[in-house]
């Protein structure tokens, strides 16, 4: 029985080490999720409150290639975004209530502030990703954002 318990202890330690390694690569925060667009997995911070939406990506140093921020609104409207306190360019992608791309602004530069990038069509979701994402993955209007 002692060998069994020792084996069980070693197995538990191995699982804990593996879980820690996975979390170190992709930490899960309460307001974090993953979405898929153009066959690409994107780890997103969710901005679903007015305070989080106002802050957005301001003051961040960068986004990794597979990271973004997903803004979730209560109802479709032509939401506008500016680059206040941004430190890097982004692609801004607007989606309707069915999560289809309805508009995009590629390579929005921090120097564009105070210009407001506004959707030409009402949107309920907005995804901010690193500049170049939209063209790199050959996205187009009508593509669907998958939210598992």
38 and 105 share a domain?
yes
**Domain shared by 23 and 83, yes or no:** no
Average pLDDT in the 65-84 region?
A: 96
- 18/36 same-domain check: no
Q: pTM for the full model?
A: 0.80
- CB-based contact 131:106 (threshold 8 Å): yes
d(CA 81, CA 57): 11
Number of domains comprising the chain? 2
User: Which pLDDT score, from 0 to 100, does residue 31 have?
Assistant: 87
- 16 and 67 assigned to the same domain: no
Range of the domain at 3: 1-27
Spatial separation of the C-alpha atoms in residues 28 and 10, rounded to whole Å: 26
- On average, the pLDDT of the chain sits at 86
Residue pLDDT, tens place only, 3-40: 544 443 343 443 333 333 333 344 456 689 999 999 99
C-beta neighbour count of 120 within 10 angstroms: 9
Tell me the per-residue pLDDT of 91-101, one tens digit each, with 9 for 90 and over. 999 999 999 99
Query: At a CB cut-off of 8 Å and minimum separation 6, what does 69 contact?
Result: 44, 45, 46, 47, 56, 57, 127, 128
Do 64 and 37 lie in a common domain?
A: yes
Q: Is the dihedral of CA 36, 42, 46, 52 positive or negative?
A: negative
Taking a C-beta distance cutoff of 8 angstroms, is the pair 101, 120 a contact? no
User: Same structural domain for residues 44 and 96?
Assistant: yes
85-99 burial string, b = 16+ CB within 10 Å, else e? ebeebbbbbbbbeeb
Q: What are phi and psi of 99, to 5 degrees?
A: 70, 30
The answer to whether position 62 is within a domain reads yes
Whether 145 is covered by a domain: the verdict is: no
Q: Where residue 100 sits, what CATH number does that domain have?
A: 2.60.120.1140
């Amino acid at each position: 029985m002692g060998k069994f318990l020792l084996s069980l202890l070693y197995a538990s330690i191995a699982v804990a080490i593996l879980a820690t390694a996975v979390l170190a690569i992709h930490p899960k925060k309460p307001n974090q999720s993953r979405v898929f667009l153009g066959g690409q997995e994107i780890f997103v911070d969710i901005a679903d409150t007015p305070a989080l939406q106002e802050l957005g990506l301001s003051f961040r140093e960068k986004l990794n290639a597979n990271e973004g921020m997903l803004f979730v609104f209560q109802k479709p409207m032509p939401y506008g975004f500016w680059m206040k306190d941004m430190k890097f360019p982004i692609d801004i992608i607007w989606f309707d209530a069915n999560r289809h791309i309805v508009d995009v602004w590629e390579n929005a530069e921090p120097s564009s502030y105070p210009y407001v990038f506004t959707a030409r069509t009402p949107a309920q979701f907005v995804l901010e990703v690193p500049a170049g994402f939209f063209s790199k993955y050959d996205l187009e209007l009508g593509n669907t954002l998958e939210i598992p």
